[in-house]
Amino acid sequence: MSFFSKSCEYALRAVFYISRSTQEGKKVGVKEIAENIQSPEAFLGKILQRLSKEGIIQSAKGPNGGFFVTEENIKRPISDIVLSIDGKALLTGCGLGLKECSEDKPCPLHHYFKDIREQLKGMLDNITIDQFNNDLIKGKVMLRK
């Protein structure tokens, strides 16, 4: 089970894979990324288009083309990836999925869930793509199940 949507999981894994590949001096295509992060290729293609449009990753066409990241991209917080794919609902929505949950009219989980959301937001805002990339290169973390 994951806290993020399947799209967001694939987006995070893809960005980390692209970052590591860029560090190794290469651009990577959708097929290679999909194979290495265990994602359906067509589904991943749409996710990569969105990430590219949002400026989180870059793409180049042609024989030496593929996806890559710049120094500017790699310094972005991972919250940019999550917000790009899943939107703000994860960080602002009701823990029970109610439409009318607020400080004035809280659901039974409101105050507990609020604390968890704030901790999650802090983590996502304060960890950069580069920090994850460094751990991946060192073998401290992995992208495959």
- Between CA 52 and CA 89 the distance in angstroms is 22
CA pseudo-torsion sign 101, 105, 107, 110: positive
- pLDDT score, position 145: 58
* Dihedral angle computed from the Cα positions of residues 85, 138, 28 and 45, in that order, rounded to the nearest 10 degrees: -20
- pLDDT score, position 103: 86
- pLDDT score, position 143: 62
Closest CA to 10 of 42, 26, 28: 42
Side-chain-side CA neighbours of 145 within 13 Å: the count stands at 6
pTM for this predicted structure: 0.86
- Between CA 8 and CA 4 the distance in angstroms is 6
The tens-digit pLDDT sequence of the chain (145 residues) is 467 889 999 999 999 999 999 998 999 999 999 999 999 999 999 999 999 999 999 999 988 899 999 999 999 999 999 999 998 877 777 878 888 888 898 999 888 888 888 898 999 999 999 887 777 777 776 666 5
Domain map (residue ranges) of the chain = 6-86+128-137
E strands, the chain, in order:
58-60, 66-68
Domain 6-86+128-137 top-level CATH class: mainly alpha
